Amino acid sequence: MPRAHRKAAAPATGDNGHGDARFTERVGHLHESAHQLLDEARSTFEDLGQAVDLRGRVQRHPYAMVAAAVGVGYVLGGGLFSSLTFRLLGIGVRVAAIPLVKHQLLDLAGAAVSGFAGGDDVGSPS
Protein backbone atom coordinates (compact mmCIF):
# COMPACT_ATOMS: atom_id res chain seq x y z
CA MET A 1 0.00 0.00 0.00
CA PRO A 2 1.57 3.33 -0.97
CA ARG A 3 2.14 5.95 1.68
CA ALA A 4 0.15 9.13 1.61
CA HIS A 5 2.17 12.01 0.26
CA ARG A 6 2.72 14.88 2.58
CA LYS A 7 1.90 18.32 1.36
CA ALA A 8 4.89 20.53 0.92
CA ALA A 9 5.08 23.62 3.08
CA ALA A 10 3.46 26.56 1.46
CA PRO A 11 5.95 29.14 0.27
CA ALA A 12 6.11 32.33 2.27
CA THR A 13 3.87 34.94 0.74
CA GLY A 14 4.99 38.48 0.45
CA ASP A 15 8.51 37.74 1.62
CA ASN A 16 9.90 41.10 0.74
CA GLY A 17 11.59 41.83 4.08
CA HIS A 18 8.44 42.08 6.21
CA GLY A 19 9.19 38.75 7.91
CA ASP A 20 12.69 39.88 8.81
CA ALA A 21 11.39 43.20 10.11
CA ARG A 22 8.84 41.48 12.35
CA PHE A 23 11.49 39.11 13.64
CA THR A 24 13.87 41.98 14.39
CA GLU A 25 11.06 43.89 16.08
CA ARG A 26 10.18 40.86 18.23
CA VAL A 27 13.84 40.30 19.21
CA GLY A 28 14.13 43.98 20.13
CA HIS A 29 11.00 43.72 22.27
CA LEU A 30 12.37 40.62 24.02
CA HIS A 31 15.67 42.41 24.60
CA GLU A 32 13.88 45.39 26.18
CA SER A 33 11.75 43.08 28.34
CA ALA A 34 14.82 41.22 29.55
CA HIS A 35 16.56 44.49 30.48
CA GLN A 36 13.44 45.70 32.28
CA LEU A 37 13.22 42.42 34.23
CA LEU A 38 16.91 42.64 35.12
CA ASP A 39 16.54 46.23 36.33
CA GLU A 40 13.51 45.32 38.47
CA ALA A 41 15.32 42.32 39.98
CA ARG A 42 18.39 44.43 40.73
CA SER A 43 16.20 47.09 42.36
CA THR A 44 14.38 44.48 44.45
CA PHE A 45 17.64 42.95 45.69
CA GLU A 46 19.02 46.38 46.55
CA ASP A 47 15.85 47.18 48.54
CA LEU A 48 16.07 43.83 50.30
CA GLY A 49 19.73 44.41 51.09
CA GLN A 50 18.96 47.80 52.59
CA ALA A 51 16.08 46.41 54.65
CA VAL A 52 18.18 43.55 56.02
CA ASP A 53 21.35 45.66 56.34
CA LEU A 54 23.43 42.71 55.23
CA ARG A 55 26.72 44.60 55.03
CA GLY A 56 26.29 45.97 58.55
CA ARG A 57 25.43 42.53 59.92
CA VAL A 58 28.50 41.00 58.28
CA GLN A 59 30.72 43.72 59.77
CA ARG A 60 29.20 43.37 63.25
CA HIS A 61 28.92 39.54 63.37
CA PRO A 62 31.15 37.95 60.71
CA TYR A 63 31.25 34.44 62.22
CA ALA A 64 27.49 34.30 62.69
CA MET A 65 26.97 35.34 59.08
CA VAL A 66 29.40 32.68 57.85
CA ALA A 67 27.50 30.11 59.91
CA ALA A 68 24.21 31.35 58.45
CA ALA A 69 25.62 31.11 54.93
CA VAL A 70 26.82 27.55 55.59
CA GLY A 71 23.39 26.64 56.94
CA VAL A 72 21.58 28.10 53.94
CA GLY A 73 23.97 26.31 51.59
CA TYR A 74 23.46 23.05 53.44
CA VAL A 75 19.68 23.33 53.15
CA LEU A 76 19.75 24.42 49.51
CA GLY A 77 22.26 21.69 48.72
CA GLY A 78 19.77 19.03 49.80
CA GLY A 79 21.24 18.25 53.19
CA LEU A 80 18.00 18.87 55.05
CA PHE A 81 16.74 15.30 54.72
CA SER A 82 20.05 13.47 55.05
CA SER A 83 21.03 10.98 57.73
CA LEU A 84 23.56 13.47 59.11
CA THR A 85 20.79 15.98 59.72
CA PHE A 86 18.67 13.41 61.54
CA ARG A 87 21.64 12.43 63.72
CA LEU A 88 22.43 16.05 64.54
CA LEU A 89 18.77 16.73 65.27
CA GLY A 90 18.65 13.75 67.65
CA ILE A 91 21.76 14.94 69.47
CA GLY A 92 20.32 18.45 69.67
CA VAL A 93 17.07 17.20 71.17
CA ARG A 94 18.96 15.18 73.76
CA VAL A 95 21.19 18.12 74.68
CA ALA A 96 18.17 20.43 74.92
CA ALA A 97 16.32 17.90 77.09
CA ILE A 98 19.14 17.61 79.65
CA PRO A 99 18.28 20.83 81.55
CA LEU A 100 14.59 19.88 81.64
CA VAL A 101 15.29 16.38 82.96
CA LYS A 102 17.87 17.73 85.41
CA HIS A 103 15.35 20.24 86.78
CA GLN A 104 12.69 17.54 87.19
CA LEU A 105 15.13 15.16 88.92
CA LEU A 106 16.32 17.90 91.31
CA ASP A 107 12.71 18.77 92.21
CA LEU A 108 11.92 15.09 92.79
CA ALA A 109 15.06 14.60 94.90
CA GLY A 110 14.32 17.76 96.89
CA ALA A 111 10.79 16.57 97.63
CA ALA A 112 12.09 13.15 98.69
CA VAL A 113 14.75 14.64 101.00
CA SER A 114 12.28 17.04 102.60
CA GLY A 115 9.80 14.19 103.05
CA PHE A 116 12.38 12.03 104.79
CA ALA A 117 13.61 14.91 106.95
CA GLY A 118 10.07 15.79 108.06
CA GLY A 119 9.31 12.26 109.12
CA ASP A 120 6.58 11.72 106.52
CA ASP A 121 6.29 8.17 105.39
CA VAL A 122 5.22 8.89 101.88
CA GLY A 123 5.95 5.44 100.53
CA SER A 124 4.79 3.23 103.45
CA PRO A 125 1.27 1.75 103.45
CA SER A 126 -0.91 2.39 106.51
Mean of the pLDDT values across residues 112-120?
Answer: 74
Total-model pTM: 0.38
Residues whose CB falls within 8 Å of the CB of residue 65, separated by 6 or more in sequence, listed in order: 57, 58
pLDDT of residue 115: 79
Sign of CA dihedral 85, 87, 92, 97: positive
Domain positions in the chain: 24-79, 82-116
47-51, 92-96, 116-120: least confident range: 116-120
